[in-house]
Amino acid sequence: MRHVAKAICLRAWDYSETSQILALLTRESGVVRVIAKGIKRPKSKSGGMVDLLAEGNMVYSQKNVSSLGTLVEFRESISRAALRRQGKSLAAGIYAVELAGEMLAEHDPHPDVYDLLSGTLRRLEGEACPVQAVLAWYQWRLLRFVGLLGGLTHCCACEEDVSHFAHHAGVFFSSRLGGLLCDGCEADEAEKHHVAPVALGAIASLLANEQGQRASLGETQAGQVNRLLHYHIVHQLGKALRSARYVLPREQI
- Residues contributing to the site for Zn ion (CB under 5 A): 155, 157-158, 160, 182, 185
Q: 28 or 160: whose CB is closer to Zn ion? A: 160
Least CB distance to Zn ion at residue 156 (A): 8
Least CB distance to Zn ion at residue 185 (A): 3
Cα–Cα nearest to 216, from 228, 204, 227, 232: 204
Q: 21 or 157: whose CB is closer to Zn ion? A: 157
DSSP for 106-159 reads: BT---HHHHHHHHHHHHHHTSTT--HHHHHHHHHHHHHHHTT-----SBBTTT-
Count helices and strands in the chain by DSSP H and E runs: 8, 8
Q: 14 or 159: whose CB is closer to Zn ion? A: 159
Least CB distance to Zn ion at residue 211 (A): 24
Which DSSP symbol is given to 67? S
Euclidean distance between CA atoms 52 and 12, whole angstroms: 7
Q: 54 or 162: whose CB is closer to Zn ion? A: 162
Least CB distance to Zn ion at residue 165 (A): 10
C-alpha of 107 from chain center: 17
